Structure 1
Amino acid sequence: MAASSNRLISLQYPTMGATVVTKSSPVLVVGPPGGDDAIVHLTSSFDRSAVPLGVTVLLLFDRSIPEPAEIIRAALSEALAHYCPVAGRLAAEGELLRIEGAAGVLFVAASAGYALADVAVPLLGGLVARYPGGICRRADPLLLVQVTEFACGGFAVAATWNHVLADGEGMAQLLGAVGELARGASPAPSVRPLRADDGSLPRLPHSMIAAQKRALSCVFNRDLALLGVTVPAGLIGSVRAEFDAAGLGDPCTVFEAVAAVLWQCRTRAAIVSGSDDAPVALSFSANVRRLVGARPGYYGNCMVVQSMTATRGAVAHGTAADVARMIRRAKERVPDLLLAPGAGGAGTAAEHGVAPLYNTLVVSSWRNLGLEAVDFGGGRPARVTWQVEETVVPCCVVCPPDKDGVGVMSACVRPEHADAFLAELAALADLKSCT
């Protein structure tokens, strides 16, 4: 996976042949005897906005630890004494959901017949335990964990969870606690976990909850190419420098630059029908814990989805820095989502029309959540990534950076547009490296 600072790395997702991963039979991991299995009522606006989709984070470690599957399984059991709801199951309570019981977390130990250095997008699927069809039924475990040992001594930890249980930062907190216990760093997690909403989180309007739920409840689409790319550090730096040169406010963030590059290149490559006046949309999730004053240790859902629309011409023909400024304006309006229904981003449907489903790109960022800091005893992960076989509307997940740039897992174009999308990314990287 090595590359120069201006080279874009891409790996397409072909159909897999025979499996090269051997998995043990799944077992249920429960907490120590006598643990608390109190009912958690999912009454917050953020929990009510969540949908039962399976989400997978995959941590790849290049430094070995003794018997990683057994160490992590034991540490997970210890962690469940503090994170009891993670072992529970969903149940209905009228129109609301609750978590009850402590039936356990599904755990799979596995071994791969190849080295960590050989891991590429086509091989990621075998490293993950999944919910059938990607939808989590109420009787299913809220968390599935697979630990895979590689032939080289490295290992992978895949956590697949029901999004109703937690958002990305919440899952990073849980995995960090399992890591602390696996290392023997302390007898209990250093962050005291809190799952139930104590009424301190804001109550969003019903119309806003419905809008957020619609944004997350997208039809599954198997007709998208799964691609792994690295947006080079040089390209990101060039976009940020051009943005900052205008002196219009705070410096451009890495997320703004990467999202702008992805949206612009995808629009140029995939939105080829219609005129430059056709509407295109971008949606992104925003972690609002700090904004709403969530209590330390809260690991439930605390995110909103911001959406913005623009014309194809504005996104395709402006500079990437111009597109980043559109995204900045939308980010600045995130607090409005907490106050009143109908608050839009940088551009509204009334101005630009409603974008068709394929003209919409969803971008999520897993940077700065704590996933890159998880340590089970051999150090931090060499790579953090997202894995999916069946995805929602066109989407990209921005992963923690490495020395070459920022990794992105994407399922954002149909197969017939994949080469054009990669070509646009490469051309933009080459252009910025020459300026």
Structure 2
Amino acid sequence: MAIVVISKSPPVLVKPSSDPATSATFDHFSLISLTSYDEPNVGRPVTAFLVFECPIDDPAETIRRGLSLALVPYYPISGRLTNFALAYDVFTAIHCSTMEDAGVPFVAASADAALRDVDLRSHLEELAVFYPADGDPLMRPLLLVQVTVFSCGGFVVGVTWDQAIADGAGMSQFLQAVGELARGMPSPTVVPFRHDLALAGMPLAIQRVDRLINSLQPSLLTLVHASVPYSLVTRIKHEFAAVYSGQPCTVFEAVTALLWRCRTRAVMSESDPSSPALLGFVADTRRHAGAKHGFYGNCCFLAPPVAATSGAVAEGDINDVVKMIQHAKDRIPSLYSASSTTDYDEDGRRLQELADTGKLGYCNMLGVSCWRNLGMEKADFGGGTPARVMGYMKEGMGRLPSCVCLPSVDGDESFSVMALCVKEEHAAAFLIELATFN
């Protein structure tokens, strides 16, 4: 691969192109209170990269213009987080009124090599703007954007955002709107909503799980990029259907079962086969929570962990592992039902007991999220949709070992996985397990 030099311009602050109050979607809130879905995500950065191989005219200026136009209906994204007092409590909100420093920092960059000659995974830290590691999430930008143009005319759009403003589906919706406006459409196809009084609150059981995970001792994790062949996923799906009388198995279920099994096998040397193995996966609950069409705030959470023993996951039938994941997915709607409170309270008590006895941590917990159907792969700034969507996870201390399934690429014969789920001493074993699964 070629050596590449990436040059960056100083950041400019992109503001809404006109007064948001004139927008049909302006809801007259200068302060938008964070919901129970937003609050756990304050200060949690997410970075995604959209890789475009087809050139367009002046990518940086085209996207900067589209961004400025999109910030009119999506005006909260140009705001800042702030605290406000109400009675005897202090709450966090999005401050949306006009401020001198409101807006989105935008960096135009260039690379002196062609996309096809560059291993982008080695340059991700140069292809986006990041928040300071020790920065205060209050009053800092909620979104950072960088557009890097390569010598071939292809370009990479790197976006980093504070997850308090939007989940992955919400940010995908916003990026699609930026693309539509950059292409000359008069308004976004989807009317955005950030303030939704009808939204059901995050279930208390989920809030307890989130607090529990945040209380765990972090482990030093190493980043691993893995591929899961289509042929293997297809085989798991077909075998599952044969065992369960034609019942379907989704790609997500097959890939998640495989990751859980292989990761558990890789770390088994540090755990007993009878020890617990727990899997949590991120679920988008817009439909269950009653979110309006176009709502782009947070409406996802880590579902209550699927519980098994390490031995059952590592050595049992993969079809049984898939079935456990399906059962957990089927339970999600009932989280919003008062009648299910007792069941989930019992789940919470078991988790707390494991944590209290030191049986919850690196060896037996895995979180999986999926970007395959979020919509980032549909963003189009004028030259078509991205050839690839990539993510960034910084190596270091993490409380929940995690894997992210990335969108597939047309013509590719595998699913890409970004994994921050193993310590360095287990990374090779994890990749070997994936490569030799049978």
With structure 1 as the length reference, what TM-score do the two structures score?
0.87
1:256 aligns with 2:224: no
1:378 aligns with 2:398: no
Distance 1:84 1:244 in 2: 47
- Structure 1 gap ranges (5+): 2-17
Among candidates 302, 307, 322, match of residue 299 of structure 2: 302
Q: Secondary structure at the match of 1:64?
A: coil
Distance 1:98 1:324, change over 3 A: same
1:29: which partner in 2? Answer: 14
Q: Secondary structure at the match of 1:45?
A: coil
Distance 2:344 2:135 in 1: 29
Q: Secondary structure at the match of 1:95?
A: strand
1:98: which partner in 2? Answer: 93
- More deviation, 82-91/301-310: 301-310
- More deviation, 48-57/351-360: 351-360
1:130: which partner in 2? Answer: 130
CA deviation string 1:226-281 (max 9, x = no partner):
12222100010011111111226741010000011111111111231232001121
| Percent of residue pairs bearing the same amino acid type | 43
1:4: which partner in 2? Answer: none
Among candidates 384, 404, 418, match of residue 413 of structure 2: 404
- More deviation, 324-333/46-55: 46-55
1:315: which partner in 2? Answer: 313
Distance 2:345 2:124 in 1: 35
Deviation at 1:386, TM superposition (A): 1.0
Distance 1:204 1:67, change over 3 A: closer
The 5-angstrom pairing of residues 166-315 of structure 1 reads 166-184=166-184, 186-198=185-197, 200-204=198-202, 206=204, 208-215=206-213, 223-247=220-244, 250-306=247-303, 307-315=305-313
Distance 1:245 1:368 in 2: 26
Q: Secondary structure at the match of 2:408?
A: strand
Kept in 2: contact 1:68–1:149 (CA 8 A): yes
Among candidates 43, 50, 66, match of residue 52 of structure 1: 43
Kept in 1: contact 2:367–2:401 (CA 8 A): yes
- More deviation, 395-404/240-249: 240-249
Distance 2:242 2:159 in 1: 41
Distance 1:189 1:38 in 2: 21
Distance 1:396 1:38, change over 3 A: same
State the number of aligned residues. Answer: 410
Distance 1:206 1:141, change over 3 A: same
Kept in 2: contact 1:220–1:390 (CA 8 A): no
Distance 2:178 2:35 in 1: 26
Deviation at 1:115, TM superposition (A): 2.4
Distance 1:134 1:374 in 2: 32
Kept in 1: contact 2:196–2:291 (CA 8 A): no
CA deviation string 1:39-74 (max 9, x = no partner):
242253322343320001111111111111111011
Distance 1:138 1:378, change over 3 A: same
Kept in 2: contact 1:268–1:316 (CA 8 A): yes
1:81 aligns with 2:72: yes
Distance 1:138 1:32, change over 3 A: same
Distance 2:415 2:315 in 1: 24
Kept in 2: contact 1:329–1:346 (CA 8 A): no
Distance 1:216 1:72 in 2: 37
Distance 1:275 1:348 in 2: 23
Distance 1:132 1:375, change over 3 A: same
Kept in 1: contact 2:147–2:158 (CA 8 A): yes
CA deviation string 1:184-205 (max 9, x = no partner):
1x1111111110122x111345
2:401: which partner in 1? Answer: 394
Q: Secondary structure at the match of 1:227?
A: strand
Amino acid aligned to 2:312? A
- Structure 2 gap ranges (5+): 22-27
CA deviation string 1:271-315 (max 9, x = no partner):
312320011211111001122221111000111211222111011
1:426: which partner in 2? Answer: 435
Kept in 2: contact 1:59–1:383 (CA 8 A): yes
Distance 2:349 2:246 in 1: 26
2:25: which partner in 1? Answer: none
1:325: which partner in 2? Answer: 323
1:165: which partner in 2? Answer: 165
Distance 1:29 1:342 in 2: 49
Distance 1:219 1:342, change over 3 A: farther
Q: Secondary structure at the match of 1:146?
A: strand
Amino acid aligned to 1:82? P
- More deviation, 347-356/278-287: 347-356
Kept in 1: contact 2:48–2:392 (CA 8 A): yes
Kept in 1: contact 2:34–2:94 (CA 8 A): no
Kept in 1: contact 2:205–2:345 (CA 8 A): no
Distance 1:300 1:419, change over 3 A: same
1:358 aligns with 2:349: no
Distance 1:48 1:97 in 2: 8
Among candidates 399, 415, 420, match of residue 424 of structure 2: 415
1:112: which partner in 2? Answer: 111
Kept in 2: contact 1:54–1:134 (CA 8 A): no
Kept in 2: contact 1:51–1:216 (CA 8 A): no
Distance 1:347 1:244, change over 3 A: farther
Distance 1:371 1:217 in 2: 32
